[in-house]
Amino acid sequence: MCSVPTSSADLPDAVRQRAYGDGPIEYSHTLTGQLGGQLAAGFTLTHLVEAPHHADATARYLPGYFATRAVKPLR
C-alpha cells in the first residue's frame, strides 16, 4: 500500500515491472489535491466520472478511479 499522492514512476524498475508490466504510469492523488488543485489553478470543472477498480477487494463498495474534465476560461 502506498501513501497518496504517489506515482508508479517512483517505484524501482524491477518492482514497477512486476506490478505493472508494460502498462502506463499511474498517478494517484487525494480528491482534495486533484479537484482542489484544478480549481485553485483557475480551471472550471465540467465533468466527473468514476469507475470501479475490478481487481480490488473494495470494488463492490466504492469506485477506484475518478476522471475529471476541466477547462481554463479565457480571460
For the cut 90, the answer to whether the pLDDT of residue 63 exceeds it is no
The residue segments making up the domain with residue 15 are 6-71
Q: Do 8 and 20 contact (CB within 8 A), yes or no?
A: yes
Of 2 and 55, the one with more pLDDT: 55
Q: How many domains does the chain have?
A: 1
Q: Is 13 part of a structural domain of the chain?
A: yes
Q: Give the pLDDT of residue 14.
A: 92
Q: Is 18 part of a structural domain of the chain?
A: yes
CA distance 53 to 59: 5
Q: Is 1 part of a structural domain of the chain?
A: no
Q: What is the mean pLDDT of the chain?
A: 85
Residue 4 φ/ψ, nearest 5 degrees: -110, 135
- Residue 69, sorted as left (phi over 0), alpha (psi -120 to 50) or beta, turns out to be beta
Q: Is 54 part of a structural domain of the chain?
A: yes
pTM (whole model) above 0.85: no
Q: Is 21 part of a structural domain of the chain?
A: yes
Instruction: Give percent above pLDDT 70 in the chain.
Output: 95
Q: Where are the beta strands (DSSP E) in 1-75?
A: 6-7, 27-28, 44-51, 65-71
Segment 15-43, tens digit of pLDDT = 888 888 888 888 888 889 989 999 999 99
